[in-house]
Each structure stands twice: as C-alpha cells, then as structure tokens.
Amino acid sequence: MMRYIKLVNFEINRFSKIYLSLLLITLVSQFAGVIIVTKSLLKDARDIMKEERLSEAAYITNYGSLDFNHIANTLLFVGPIALSAVALIFYIFLIWYRDWFGKNTFIYRLLMVPTSRLSIYLSKATAIFLMVLGLIAFQIIILPMQNALFNSNVPEALLNEMSISTITIANPILSLIIPSTFTQFLISYGAGLMIMSILFTSIMFERSFRIKGIIMGLLYCGIAAVLFLAPFFVMGFGNFHFYPNELFGLLLAIGIILTGLSVWLGAWLLKNRVTV
C-alpha cells in the first residue's frame, strides 16, 4: 500500500512541470479573457447606445443584459480547458510509453520495484485521475473569482448577475466538466475511469504483443464498446424496451464489470506478458 502511494506521488511529480504550466496557462488566459472580453463588451454596448441613442434600460430590452456567459464562450476562456483535456488524454498514452521510449529505459526500474504489477498499473491510473480532478477543482476555485471580477467591472444597470451553478449549467463545456449534481459527477467521472482503464489495457496489449497487440487493443476497445452499448442494441434490434432505471442499472453494472475486467486484464498482461 505504501509503495502504491509512493508510486502515485512519483508519477505526479514526474508530470508536475507540465501540470503547473497547464494551471498557469488556464489562470492567465481565463483572467485575461475576463478582463479583455468585458472591456470589448462594454465598448460595443456603449457604441450601440451612442449610435442608436438608447438608454441603458432600452439597450437591455433590445440587446439583453451582459452576463458571464459572454465570457465563458470565448476562446480565451474555453481554450485552456480544451488544452488541458487534450494534454491529459495524451498523457494516458505517454504515462506508459515514456517509460519505454524515454532517453532512459525507466521501465526496467519500475517493473523491478518490489510491489505487485497491479499497484504499478493502478498508480498510473490514480495519478492521471487525480490530476484531472485537480484541474476541475482549480476551475471551481477560480470561477467565482472570475465571476466577481466580471460583476465588479460591469455597471449594475447592464449587468445580469449569475450564480456559479447557473454559469456551469448554461455553458456546455463547463457543464460537461462540472456536472450539475454530485450523482452526475460520480457517473461522469466513473465513465471516465472506465474509458481510461480500457485504454490502459489496450496499451498493455500493444506492449505485450507489439504489432499484433495493436490489433488486439483495438479489438478490445471495440468489444468493450459493444458490451457497454449492448442494452441499446437490444432495444434497437431486439425490439425490447428497458425502463430508464433498468437501463441505468444495466449500464452501471456493465460499466463496473468492464472497468474491473480491464484493470484485471491490464495488470495480468503487465505481470505475465509485457516485454521490456
């Protein structure tokens, strides 16, 4: 157990520089976005008011008031979220392949650590998952600050103040990364874990059987997808209908089984089939 925690910590430290850069980019870009976009929104509003000789109230009835949604839809705001997402998805692969193909073959050392290969597999999964959650947590922390900054920069007459939960519901990308309820949060990130375990296991296939392994890995992904979506196929072609809660129960059960199977298979391959 201690070795598992140490491995998780080790993996996080290895990624810390890139991770800090991602946090920094997000922070700078989003705050810059709030400041710059607010300025241009206000300037546009003033220009229209001047041109059409509208009062502030008339402007609001014609063009609507200014709210945080205007900010949350800009590239400066969404861009760093997308960048972080891409970086971490990419790192799902890199976290394994850098051990084999780095300048030094660290995989020798890693696989000779006196701990189960399952711990090694799980430590990498945990590290990525924790870093994903860390980014979400960071967004949750800075979002109220950005909202407050926006609210203080826009004159009250033009402002439509939004709460954080309304902002996260109204923006499609924010609502994806910060689900509106805790249950939804567990389900979304649980599904994320499942997908990551399937990808990890596909990587293990490739590392075990090389070119043949790529085909096996892709096949495994395909089988996993078919299994997970089986209830929908039953409904589509089998002409059988599941009630929503039955469907949910089935997907949950299949999801848990699939995740368990992937972790077991991945760790087994890492223990018995992987070649250094």
Stretch in the footprint of other proteins (CB under 8 A) among 30-38, 42-50, 73-81, 112-120: 112-120
Q: Of 49, 54, 169, 234, which lies in the binding site for other proteins, with binding defined by CB under 8 A?
A: 169
Identify the helix (H) or strand (E) that includes residue 268. helix 244-272
Nearest approach, Cβ of 41 to other proteins (angstroms)?
15
8-67 binders of other proteins (CB under 8 A): 8-10, 12-14, 16, 65, 67
Return the closest-CA partner of residue 10 out of 115, 141, 140.
Answer: 115
Toward other proteins, which CB reaches closer, 224 or 228? 228
Residues 6+ apart with CB under 8 A from 50: none
Of 45, 131, 195, 216, the one binding other proteins (CB under 8 A) is 131
Angle between helix 75-101 and 2-52 (nearest 10): 160
Exposure on the CB side of residue 249, measured as CA atoms within 13 A: 5
* CA proximity to 268, closest of 116, 127, 101, 110: 116
Q: Rounded to the nearest whole angstrom, what is the least distance from the CB of residue 112 to other proteins in the complex?
A: 5
d(CA 269, CA 260): 14
Contacting residue, 1, 53, 237, 240, with other proteins by CB under 8 A: 240
Task: For residue 85, state whether it binds other proteins (rule: CB under 8 A).
Answer: no
In the list 185, 191, 192, 268, the residue contacting other proteins (rule: CB under 8 A) is 185
- C-alpha pair distances (Å), 188 with each of 45, 61, 235: 39, 38, 23
Q: How far is the CB of 28 from other proteins (least distance, A)?
A: 19
C-beta of 104 vs 152, nearer to other proteins? 104
- Tell me the sheet residues that pair with 66: 159
Tell me the three state secondary structure of residue 106.
helix
Q: Rule CB under 8 A: say whether 140 interacts with other proteins.
A: yes
The residues that bridge with 159 in the sheet, in sequence order, are 66
Tokens representing 64 are: 């609507």
What residues numbered 245-264 form the site for other proteins, per CB under 8 A? 245, 248
Nearest distance from C-beta of residue 13 to other proteins, angstroms: 6
Angle at CA of residue 85, ends 7 and 99, nearest 5°: 35
Contacting other proteins (CB under 8 A), which of 73, 74, 153, 160? 160
Sequence-separated (6 or more) residues with CB below 8 Å from residue 31: 142, 146, 149
- Of 1, 53, 141, 152, the residue at the interface with other proteins (CB under 8 A) is 141
Site residues for other proteins per CB under 8 A: 3, 6, 8-10, 12-14, 16, 65, 67, 69, 102-106, 108-109, 111-117, 130-131, 133-134, 136-138, 140-141, 160, 162-166, 169-170, 178, 180-185, 187, 208, 240-245, 248, 271-276
